[in-house]
Structure 1
Amino acid sequence: MPTHTAPRTGVQDPTGPALPPGPPGEVDMAVMRESPLAFITDLARRYGDITRHQADGDTVYLLNRPEYARHVLKDNGANYTKLDTPDDAMLRPLLGNGLLTSNGEDWARQRHLTAPAFRPNAVRTFDGIITDTTRDLLDRWRPAIEAGTPLAVDEQFTALTLRILTHAILGADLGGIGEGFGRAVDAVNRCIGHYVPDPDPDPADTAARYAGFHRARVFLNTVTRTLIAARRAAGAAERPGGNLLDTMMSTDHLVSDEDLRDQVLTIVMAGHETTAKSLSWTCYLLDRHPQELAKVREEVDRVLGGRPPTAADFADLPVCQRAVKEAMRLFPPVWLISRRAVAEDTIGGYHVAPGTLVCVSQWVLHRHPEYWEAAEEYRPDRFADATFPSHLYLPFGGGDRICVGQHFALLEAVLVLATLTQSVRLELVEGFPVEPEALVTLRPKHGMSMIARPR
């Protein structure tokens, strides 16, 4: 059971219902901004499984049990909106009214349109694209492998997953600009992933980040609109088989140019970066745990016998699957989900007033000591034949808005890991600092510099 250093009893307002425990007064936004992971971890440790604090004029609840997460994300999900949340504020300036930011009928229409492209039977057909693109990456790594030169694998994986996604889902190859796209994503992350207190402690730094954001947004918009224009110019006759972009551009759906831009950029941004980060953390953890790496290598050699993996091999690579899933437990790409209460509610016996900002943190939930033995340790075998409570493990979110691309992301990560494992061992550069940074996604703050050793 968790250990708490402060009482868990709620605050009883003489004029109203009980409120959850939490720190008194307004939270110092500079402290929250400086170390958000430490802040939410300390909240849960001190005050328990449902906490309350005031921040920047908001009343904020942090929910740290799976049944509370399920209540907000699924069972009573209609009462909790993304509108006017930190998620919305961070993403809407870049993504517009795309699948991650839309609500109500707009969201339902977009989900209905995009879901078929990401169903398991559809994503299985992308296996050749995944493995061919990964082998192309290994070919480009060849000089570094032979020389023992460090590689910025986080940037490399960003370019890789971008190329895979755009080829598989949108019918385009952005391989030539993958690294530039990744740098633009980083610039966006640095700007929109930080809370900025009032007054701003460093206006010059904030101005520089916003300038970087605007440059990155122009670049990303240009790439997205060029991709759409090129696909439209090709004409239906030159697009055998079609893909999601073709579907959105078809006369059956009549998606406007602005809607197309929002949807394409949302799919590209959400669909490549989270998988890239998951691969970076997986390779890092396997290097730090050689006994787990040995299990992965044994499975890959035994199952594949040197041939490229296919979607049909996915079920026969459970060790690879568990290696990725456990990395996503410890370092969930999306580390916080926020919703705004529409009407009053009750959670855990505590009153939730309309307008309350309600948050679920995968970073905290995935480490809850009541549910995870040795929660801070990398133990992939915990996913062997395990049954978890609903909404305990949320690397792809939960409820109706669970990530539409979850099947694609997991297949992609496993096939990339298997393909890499056949040829190289990735070793962290000695002394290289590895620290998680909670921006829009959970990324390695200093990157991930590794050496690819030949097998």
Structure 2
Amino acid sequence: MALISPLETVRGSIALYTGAVFLLVYFLTSIHRRWSRYRFAKAHGCGPIPAIPTYDPFMALDRLYFNIKTAKQRKILETNVARFVELGNTVRAQRITTPMILTREPENVKTILSLKFNDYSMGDRLQIFGRLLGHGIFTSDGEDWTRSRHMIRPNFVKEQVAHLEIFEELMEDLFALIPADGSTVDLQDLFFGFTIDSATEFLFGHNVHSLKKRRSQVVDNEPDFPAAFNYSLDNIVMNSRFGPLQFLNRDPKAVEANRICHQMVEQFVDKAMRVREKYDEEKATGETEESRRYVFLNGLAQQTGNRTRIRDELMNVLLAGRDTTASLLSNMFFMLAKHPKVWAKLQEELATLEGRAPTYEQLRNLKYLKYCMNESLRLHPVVPVNSRTAIKDTVIPVGGGPDGRSPVFVPKGTIVAYSVWAMHRREDFYGPDAEEFRPERWETLRPGWEYLPFNGGPRICVGQQYALTEAAYVTTRLAQRYSVIESRDAGPWEEKLTLTLCSHNGTKVSLRH
């Protein structure tokens, strides 16, 4: 029998003592944290909120399974509304091990995005989005985000946005791809091509001509960027549902899709590097045609020579420039095709242009067109769900207590998700027909934070006027060209939810002169 040496005995005692001290410190720290939070919540008059039922109190894996199943049925947004109706407008949940609060209260959203902006961060967005988007305006916080926003803002001043020639040049390609015989066309597919062409021209100074390539029916061996981009976005959403378990969502196809997306953007990175090399020379020789109009790519190249940083920023702005406007147009035309009276009324307003391409000021004065876009963004908000993560113990103003009017305590580390989709469907704000597409409601509506199509606060969408201008221009030119639009989709609108929201079945219509 081996004898235990005195030295080993001492080491064992030290280890045991250290472990006991650690457990004691952990226990006392937890007790102190709980007590401090209790006092904080009580001092602010916070009340409890209802919880989404779960059979798994530890990791809520049943909720993860339910959410994945509901998403496959294309009913996750609809289910969220039903849950708010049943439980209340602010509820408690859990994403694996992370506590969550879900809300559709405008006052809470205003507090998160504006009044207490510094109490929140983007949380784990970089970990979830980073494989595709890297460090950019949508994934960054603090100084990195400030720098990104500072670089992109000059691209969206009025003088830039008012240059409608970019859109008009693309209309010929769009018209050519719409069947002249009135047969079925998927406008959603065309809109996504249109917006990637316009975004690359507007932001990068180089049009990728996706519509023109389709029009010429040129077959090339280049990877399918739109399909890869869409697949990458689907995978990001799946990772967000898995949260800290996202390592279980291993998808080689997503890795390849990310590679294809990065490869496509590399052509713009190369251009940026050439711009950087020539910057001093161009500065010395005077202003060029390219430098008279601010181009985000050029501004970015002057800021940094880091290829990865340039690529990441380009991926971020390309997502915004392509997806938001295309989704708005797709959703709106789906509804316009289902509502011929709305289409006729819109055409009546646009007849005042006498077939001429509108100017920027004329677009801004087309009230019914604006009502149609507002109603589309209300009924089908382009970004229907968003979230922030508390970086300190804080409070949101309503949702707690028996009547839901007391403040709610938000512990540090809690994800606060806000559903714009569900908020836009509240009958107390929009009436008993809140689920219906009725542009006329905007004749009298003057909403505040209960209408949030482009986010709010310091991180409000910097490109919203560009998106609205592009959508208004394309709608106007299509309505001027085609007097009749008919839906070729017998079913209702169904959600296709990635980072943005569009129609699962596309926008299948017939257009005739």
TM-score surpassing 0.5?
Answer: yes
Deviation track 1:153-204 (CA, whole Å, cap 9, x = no partner) reads: 211100001101111121011113887332222211222222565999xx9x
2:330–2:506 Cα contact (<8 Å) kept? no
| One of 62, 87, 108 as aligned partner of 2:146 | 108
Give the whole-Å Cα distance in 2 for the aligned partners of 1:277 and 1:174.
20
Aligned position for 2:104: 64
| One of 229, 238, 242 as aligned partner of 1:194 | 238
1:90–1:440 Cα contact (<8 Å) kept? no
Task: Indicate whether 1:140 and 2:177 are aligned.
Answer: yes
Aligned position for 1:318: 367
Aligned position for 1:51: 91
**Secondary structure of the structure 2 residue equivalent to 1:54:** strand
Deviation track 1:105-150 (CA, whole Å, cap 9, x = no partner) reads: 110111111111112232112x111122123210232xx222x332
| One of 330, 348, 359 as aligned partner of 1:298 | 348
Gaps of 5+ in 2: 1-33, 42-46, 55-59, 71-75, 215-223, 283-287, 399-406
Structure-2 change in CA distance of 1:199 and 1:324 (3 Å):
closer
1:22–1:43 Cα contact (<8 Å) kept? no
**Secondary structure of the structure 2 residue equivalent to 1:403:** coil
Structure-2 change in CA distance of 1:249 and 1:432 (3 Å):
same
Deviation track 1:267-312 (CA, whole Å, cap 9, x = no partner) reads: 111111111011011101111111111111111111x101112212
Task: Indicate whether 1:20 and 2:69 are aligned.
Answer: no
Aligned position for 2:262: 221
Structure-2 change in CA distance of 1:232 and 1:198 (3 Å):
closer
Aligned position for 1:357: 415
AA partner of residue 201 (structure 2): H
Give the whole-Å Cα distance in 2 for the aligned partners of 1:385 and 1:412.
25
AA partner of residue 409 (structure 1): A
AA partner of residue 152 (structure 1): D
Q: Comparing 172-181 with 103-112, which one deviates more in the overlay?
A: 172-181
2:231–2:254 Cα contact (<8 Å) kept? yes
2:130–2:139 Cα contact (<8 Å) kept? yes
2:334–2:508 Cα contact (<8 Å) kept? no
AA partner of residue 313 (structure 1): Q
Q: Percent identity?
A: 26
Give the whole-Å Cα distance in 1 for the aligned partners of 2:341 and 2:480.
17
C-alpha deviation, 1:88, in angstroms: 4.2
Give the whole-Å Cα distance in 2 for the aligned partners of 1:90 and 1:299.
45
**Secondary structure of the structure 1 residue equivalent to 2:429:** coil
Instruction: Provide the aligned length of Structure 1 versus Structure 2.
Output: 426
**Secondary structure of the structure 2 residue equivalent to 1:172:** coil
2:196–2:210 Cα contact (<8 Å) kept? no
Give the whole-Å Cα distance in 2 for the aligned partners of 1:386 and 1:70.
19
1:73–1:400 Cα contact (<8 Å) kept? yes
AA partner of residue 203 (structure 2): I
Deviation track 1:317-373 (CA, whole Å, cap 9, x = no partner) reads: 121111111111111111111111111112221211111110111111111111111
Gaps of 5+ in 1: 1-12
C-alpha deviation, 1:430, in angstroms: 4.4
Moved over 4 A (4+): 195-200, 234-238
Give the whole-Å Cα distance in 2 for the aligned partners of 1:313 and 1:334.
28
Give the whole-Å Cα distance in 1 for the aligned partners of 2:497 and 2:107.
24
Task: Indicate whether 1:407 and 2:457 are aligned.
Answer: no
**Secondary structure of the structure 1 residue equivalent to 2:227:** helix
Give the whole-Å Cα distance in 2 for the aligned partners of 1:34 and 1:119.
43
1:161-180 → structure 2 map (5 Å cutoff): 161-176=195-210, 180=224
| One of 476, 487, 500 as aligned partner of 1:441 | 500
Give the whole-Å Cα distance in 2 for the aligned partners of 1:41 and 1:158.
28
AA partner of residue 387 (structure 1): R
Give the whole-Å Cα distance in 2 for the aligned partners of 1:287 and 1:130.
23
**Secondary structure of the structure 1 residue equivalent to 2:430:** coil
| One of 476, 481, 484 as aligned partner of 1:418 | 476
C-alpha deviation, 1:384, in angstroms: 2.6
TM-score, structure 1 as length reference:
0.87
Task: Indicate whether 1:342 and 2:358 are aligned.
Answer: no
Say which one has the larger Rg: 2
AA partner of residue 335 (structure 2): L
